[in-house]
Amino acid sequence: MQKIDKTLKNIILFSKWFQLPLYLGLIVGGCLYTYRYVVELVHLATTINIITENELMMGVLLLVDIVMVANLLIMVIIGGYSTFVSKINMGNDKDMPDWLDSISAGTLKIKMSTALVGISGIHLLQTFINLQGADTTKVILQISVHMTFVVSALLLTFVEYVMHKSH
């Protein structure tokens, strides 16, 4: 019976490696975002003399948005892999992110939720910049979604604080 129990535990523990292709897929997604960033940057650089300041601002906001999504991807890839698949031990490598030493599922959720708030805020700012032609219902919906992200981030942070305070 002990041998069956140990075998089952090993199978269950091995199942964490099924997530590896998911993280590799996110790395591909990060490559696609990098490509999109370069395309947009080249577009802005080659049209700088003919676009309006508003179009430039929207282009730069798109670049910021891409960077924030890429940062979110990195947090999910590194933090998720380290938390759920296998610890990333880089020794004293100076390139290791500072937050990797103290990452937990709760910390990862908070980092992800605050990144979503930032991304949502960029999209909301883009809508406000182009407010003249915007549909009022769409604007209200975007504000509602953004506020939902804000409240969710605050609640996740509060729950994490309460859980760690009790320890």
Which whole number is the average pLDDT over 123-130?
83
Mean pLDDT over 18-41 rounds to 94
- Listed in sequence order, the residues at least 6 apart from 82 whose beta carbon sits closer than 8 Å to its beta carbon are 88, 100, 103
CA angle 107, 162, 115 (to 5 degrees): 30
pLDDT at 91: 66
The values of phi and psi at residue 72, to 5°, are -60, -45
- pLDDT at residue 35 above 70? yes
Residue 130 contacts residue 62 (beta carbons within 8 Å): no
pTM of the model: 0.74
Domain range summary for the chain, segments of one domain joined by +:
2-166
Say how far apart CA 109 and CA 101 lie, in whole Å.
Answer: 16
Cα 22 to Cα 130, 159, 165: the distances in Å are: 36, 28, 33
Digit-coded pLDDT (tens) for 74-107 = 888 888 888 778 777 766 667 766 666 666 777 7
